[in-house]
């Protein structure tokens, strides 16, 4: 049964062609974080423009930031 014996390989003995170095990973991570930050900033800018134009409804936090007089209970 020697021919049917499965060959077991050590995972450390064969080099991985897709191996990534630490510096490559850090560059990729920095780029990914920058892209995500840019997308988030663009979405926030567009949302602010839409609110200013009256195209979308404000949520409670946005209403409080833009029109705090609505929450003033001094006149009641």
At 18-36, the pLDDT tens digits run 898 999 999 999 999 999 9
Look up residue 37 and give its two tokens.
Answer: 């930050």
pLDDT over 80 at 76, yes or no: no
- What is the rounded average pLDDT for all residues in the chain? 85
Could you identify the residue written with the tokens 């021919």? 3
Tens of pLDDT along 4-16?
A: 555 565 656 677 7
Report d(CA 41, CA 47) in Å as an integer: 10
Confirm whether pTM is higher than 0.85: no
Is residue 21 a contact partner of residue 29, using CB atoms and an 8 Å limit?
Answer: no
Domain spans in the chain, listed from the N-terminal domain onward? 34-76
* 6 secondary structure, DSSP code: P
Q: Which H helix or E strand runs over 60?
A: helix 60-66
End-to-end CA distance of the chain: 92
């Amino acid at each position: 049964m020697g021919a049917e014996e499965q060959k077991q390989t050590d995972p450390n003995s064969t080099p991985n062609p897709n191996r990534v170095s630490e510096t490559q990973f850090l560059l990729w991570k920095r780029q990914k974080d920058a892209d995500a930050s840019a997308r988030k900033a663009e979405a926030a800018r567009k949302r602010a423009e839409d609110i200013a134009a009256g195209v979308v409804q404000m949520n409670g936090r946005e209403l409080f930031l833009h029109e705090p007089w609505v929450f003033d209970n001094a006149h009641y």
